[in-house]
Amino acid sequence: MVPKKIEEAFSEQIKHELESAYIYLSMAAYFDAEGFEGMGRWMRAQVQEEVTHAMRFYKHIIERGGHVKLHPLAMPQQDWQLPLAAFEAAYKHEQFITAKIDDLVKLAQAEGDHASRTLLQWFVDEQVEEEASTSKVVQELKLVGNEGRGILMIDRELGARTFVLAPDLAALYAQPAAAGA
Ligand code: OFO
């Protein structure tokens, strides 16, 4: 059975992960409207990834006999001055999420909840990547400044990103086997 405090904190984290998806969807809409197709695609892949982050917490609560309670999502920012401003906001948001994951680690330790440890370690590692990937784009955009060709090259590079569903989550979305199959 999942401890009550963990169930509540993980439900709250589902909200943060879905808010991440919502923020990145808003950024995708901004990039797509501004003609930055690659950045729009990168953000749309990030949206998918954030939803799977929420679903990792969801799966954990359900598997341990808990009840997921959903919270309202905050309205995301709709517009940015430049691609750099959007990616800076994304990097800052990832730092916020890292702090939330660190709080969850402390809570799981205080509750002596060893079952949450593996899940949270996955998120600790993931946040290193999340911060690194957004910060890398910020650095690249800063390097090229307002140079149009440079921005377009970054846009092309980011457009190569695709979303791949992690195999350990595939069961959440797979069709149930037909009876007698
Ligand atoms: Fe869920 O890692 Fe980004 O926000």
Tens digits of residue pLDDT in 13-54: 999 999 999 999 999 999 999 999 999 999 999 999 999 999
The CA 148 to ligand 1 mean position distance, Å, reads 29
> Ligand 1 centroid vs 137 CA: distance in angstroms?
16
Calculate how far, in angstroms, residue 181's C-alpha sits from the geometric centre of ligand 1. Answer: 38
- 116 belongs to a structural domain: yes
What integer pLDDT is reported at residue 177 of this predicted model?
75
- Whether residue 91 is contained in a domain is answered as yes
Residue 177: inside a domain: no
Answer yes or no: is 174 within a domain: no
- Atom of ligand 1 lying closest to residue 53 CA: 1
* Residue 35 φ/ψ region, left for φ over 0, alpha for ψ in the -120 to 50 degree band, beta for the rest: left
Asked if residues 20 and 2 have their Cβ atoms less than 8 Å apart, the reply is no
pLDDT on residue 172: 85
Residue 150 lies in a domain: yes
Predicted TM-score (pTM) of this structure? 0.94
Whether 8 shows a pLDDT value over 70: the answer reads yes
- Output the pLDDT for position 179: 66
How much is the pLDDT for 161?
96
- Substitution candidate for ligand 1 out of 10, 12, 97 with most atoms within 8 A of CB: 97
Give residues (CB < 6 A) around ligand 1: 17, 20, 50, 53, 94, 97, 130
Spatial distance between the Cα atoms of 78 and 86, rounded to a whole number of angstroms: 10
| Cα 179 to ligand 1 centroid, rounded to whole Å | 38
Distance CA 66, CA 116 (A): 13
* pLDDT interval class at 181 (50, 70, 90): low
User: Which residue stretches of the chain are H helix?
Assistant: 4-34, 37-63, 83-111, 115-144, 148-158, 170-173
Q: What count of Cα atoms within 13 Å lies in the side-chain half-sphere of residue 164?
A: 5
Q: What is the pLDDT of residues 57-77, one digit of tens each?
A: 999 999 999 999 999 999 999
pLDDT in the model for residue 178: 72
Tell me, what's the pLDDT at 23? 98
Work out which ligand 1 atom sits closest to the CA atom of 97.
4
At 120-154, the pLDDT tens digits run 999 999 999 999 999 999 999 999 998 899 999 99
The ligand 1 atom at the shortest distance from the C-alpha of residue 16 is 4
Residue 159 lies in a domain: yes
Give domain status of residue 176, yes or no: no
Whole-number average pLDDT of the chain: 96
Atom of ligand 1 nearest to the CA of 127: 2
Q: How far is the CA of 105 from the centre of ligand 1 (A)?
A: 16
Burial class (CB in 10 A: 0-12, 13-18, 19+), 167: exposed
CA nearest to 66, candidates 13, 135, 141, 127: 13
What pLDDT shows up at residue 171? 85
How many domains does the structure of the chain reveal?
1
What is the domain extent for residue 80? 4-169
Vertex 117, ends 56 and 114: CA angle to 5°?
A: 120
181 located within any domain: no
Q: What is the CATH number of the domain that holds 37?
A: 1.20.1260.10
